[in-house]
Amino acid sequence: MSVSATGGAPLDFDAVYRDHARLVARWAARLGGPAVSVDDVVQDVFLVVSRRLAAFRGEAKLTTWLFRITEKTVRNARRGIRRRPWLARLTPRIAEAAPAPQPSPAEDCERREAAVAFYRILDSLPEKQRNVLVLYELEAMGAPEIGDLLGMKAAAVRVMLHRARARFLDRMQVEAKSEGRP
Amino acid sequence: MTGGGSGEARWRELPAGQGAEGRAGEMVRRLGNPALPGDERLAAIRVRIRLRRGPRIVRRRFAPVLVVVALLTGTTLGLAASGWIEPLRERWIRRAVEPPVPAADPPRRRLRARRAEPAPVEEPPAVVAPALEPAPAPAAAPAPVPLRRPGPSIAPDAGPRRETALLATAIRKLRRAGDARGALSALDERAAAFPGGELAPEADLVRVEALLALGERGAALRLLDERADAPPRARQALLVRGELRAEAGRCADAARDLGMVLSHPPRDALDARALLARASCRSRLHDYAGARGDLEDYLRGFPGGPDAAQAAAALRAMP
């Protein structure tokens, strides 16, 4: 029977969904970037949770467990998009042609461009480095918190973060050079 | 400020002009906060999860059956989509409608089949199979084709056979060996030997497939454009032409092609692609009602389709 990490009380799916759906959505948005549908990831994550909650025994923190499922789901979604490039072309076109629900100022456009550029560079990093960088730079989490989520020691997180940042900056400079920017 | 125990400042905290890290910080700052689903969307997701979960016992008991059914369905759809069923069906029809061998000639015919010799002088008619669509009448032969052709000649049906063999070679090279250039060579050979031959429409389709395999999408579209009136059996050609026209920004033409694909009765994988492509075209033509209708049709007809999630996402983005 599934138990909560603190008191040993059984975990109820509805309660887990109510308490953590927003957090999972936030992770999904940050890890997946603009190419991934947050709603779909949340749905897939909680489908897995609904199937496996009974087997969850509280060996890890609930958030750590949820993060692992989210990270895998996002990785699969990104793989799926890479495998079907024609669809990736099609869907943004539909979305681009449809007027935005709110007035679309130039800021939206800039934000979208920044997101595309950022995640393009991010995708060149190994998965673990990618996750550490996202959680540190975008989610503003500290090394110990990241270690809790990823099941690593804080020192290992710092080393990985250092490598991830160096690699990201290198890649950014390569892209800038290829586009003729200083 | 240090980054929560990492000992390094976060990029977003650095001033914009400070080297590569400053530029990265600028990028992170521009990202802002992600748009997250609100209460209503989370509630809708919760409902979808409830629908998808289903009774556990049913899933366990019938899971193997469902896997077999899914495999069979996938194989059938795959065959249909890859264009193998249509040529087979045509071959069966041709065999069925082929004129019967005259009764006076059976021994000679059997002998010829056994020895595989060149065809004898007196031979059944040259027309191997009536095409499903009327073929253009040959200019040099206005008279009806005689049952027995006088005088020595090459086997009367050697032409169509050779044409079929060349086309078969092209298909084999393209689909089995993945040799698109070899396939194009075989098609060129067929076109040179049989200009305006009976199998020209089929050869055009194979040529389009080979060009697409080589990434020459423009050439494929030009070839499809030349075929002003694609016959009904070439639904796949219409679909590909529609998709290529959509890609080239010719949305009105594309929507017309895709509409023709969708006007045929079967509800198959071609329909699924046509609906998505037409939704894209219509939205670019600002026909949002039409695009919404196509996406809804897709989700109704193919709720478990591979692109259902993306179609649903696109539908939500529609005004």
Helix segments in chain B, DSSP class H: 19-31, 39-53, 56-81, 85-97, 106-115, 158-171, 180-193, 200-213, 217-226, 235-247, 251-262, 269-284, 288-301, 308-317
Of B10, B24, B280, the CB nearest to A169: B24
Distance from CA of A138 to the nearest CA of B (A): 7
Beta-carbon contacts of A112 under 8 Å, excluding residues fewer than 6 positions away, are A34
Confidence band for B310, pLDDT divided at 50, 70 and 90: confident
Domains A1-98 and A106-182 share a fold: no
pLDDT for residue B267: 66
* Best of A90, A165, A179 to mutate (most B CBs within 10 Å, chain B): A90
Locate A180 and state its tokens: 């003729």
Confidence band for A99, pLDDT divided at 50, 70 and 90: very low
Report the mean per-residue pLDDT for chain B: 70
Q: Is the pTM of this model over 0.80?
A: no
**pLDDT exceeds cutoff 50 at B28:** yes
Give me the CATH topology for the region A106-182.
Arc Repressor Mutant, subunit A (1.10.10)
Residues 15-34 of A with CB under 8 A from B: 17, 21-22, 25-26, 29-30
Give me the CATH topology for the region A1-98.
Rna Polymerase Sigma Factor; Chain: A (1.10.1740)
Quick: pLDDT tens for B104-145.
Answer: 444 444 444 444 444 443 333 333 333 333 333 333 333 333
The per-residue DSSP string of B112-169 comes to: HHHHTPPPPSS-S-S-----SSPPPPPTT--SPPPSS--S--S-TTHHHHHHHHHHHH
Quick: pLDDT tens for B221-243.
Answer: 888 887 655 544 567 777 888 88
What pairs with residue A3 in β-bridges? A10
**pLDDT exceeds cutoff 70 at B57:** no
- Considering just the CA atoms, what is the radius of gyration of chain A in Å? 18
Which residue has 């199979």 as its token pair?
B129
Quick: pLDDT tens for B238-288.
Answer: 788 888 888 777 888 888 888 887 876 656 777 888 888 888 888 777 788
Distance from CA of A124 to the nearest CA of B (A): 15
pLDDT for residue A180: 67
Spans of all domains in chain A: 1-98, 106-182
